[in-house]
Amino acid sequence: MSGATHPMVRFHNLHKSYGRVEVLKGIDLEVAPGQVVALIGRSGSGKSTALRCVNGLERFQAGELHVCGHDLAAEKVDLRKLRQDVGIVFQSYNLFPHLTVEQNVTLAPRKVKGVGSAEARELAREVLAQVGLSDKVQSYPEELSGGQQQRVAIARSLAMHPRLMLFDEVTSALDPELTGEVLRAIERLASNGMTMMLVTHEMAFARSVADQVVFMHQGRVWETGPGDMLLDPQTAELRQFVGNGL
């Protein structure tokens, strides 16, 4: 098997529990380099927990998980190195209100990677252009809409040049217009070949952008396939889920 064909993410029989409640019941899933994978399912189905395991935010009890060459089942995982390879964006933007957009974006590259001031400024301009915010470099978060703040949060992750990007319901707190602008930014990243895993309730977006849609149900991968599978579900559970417009 050549290096080029190794999956960037590989779950094998992954189990995760909180106390006596088993949230992930033996997940098997692979994400190839350059692939966009959308995780969908009801609240409590395990999709966000699976995503958080990929970034080491959640530890699992059994099974295997390899991410960008890191073995997350190992006794000691270098989370700092893992998170240089894996960026994550949450529903809440978590921007520093007292810092400009440029300062928010360049903080991690300067602190973690030791990037110099001039290079950091150039990096900020590069990643802000990727999310359509070139004109907001010197703005403060309070001067931005929710959609713009979320795009700054995406740019902040991109500034670390991750190999993999994770998005955890990044539009769920936004109104429809702002949701659209954030999804367009993610779509641009997809078209540029960024490997992504995203938890989303935007079915039309999942269908059009994802190479693979993963429907999770009761802690398991219930049904998986290309985006078009949402038009012709093979299981009663996915049929009901899609039929409810969730």
pLDDT at 91: 87
- CA–CA separation, 154 vs 185, rounded Å? 9
Q: What number is the average pLDDT over the span 228-239? A: 93
Is 14:63 a contact under the CB 8 Å cutoff?
Answer: yes
Closest of 205, 202, 94 to residue 149, by C-alpha:
94
Residue range 107-142, pLDDT digits in tens: 999 988 888 989 999 999 999 999 999 999 999 999
- Angle at which helix 117-130 crosses helix 101-113, to 10 degrees, equals 120
In the chain, the N- to C-terminal Cα span, in Å, equals 39
Quote the radius of gyration of the chain (alpha carbons, Å). 18
HSE-CB for 99 with a 13 A CA cutoff: 15
Sheet arrangement for strand 212-217 = 86-89, 164-168, 195-199, 36-40, 212-217, 220-225
- CA–CA separation, 94 vs 201, rounded Å? 21
Q: What number is the average pLDDT over the span 86-110? A: 93
pLDDT at 1: 37
Total of domains in the chain: 1
Closest of 135, 147, 56, 77 to residue 101, by C-alpha:
135
Domain containing 147 equals 3-243
Residue range 4-47, pLDDT digits in tens: 568 999 999 999 999 999 999 999 999 999 999 999 999 999 99
CATH number at residue 104: 3.40.50.300
Q: What number is the average pLDDT over the span 149-154? A: 94
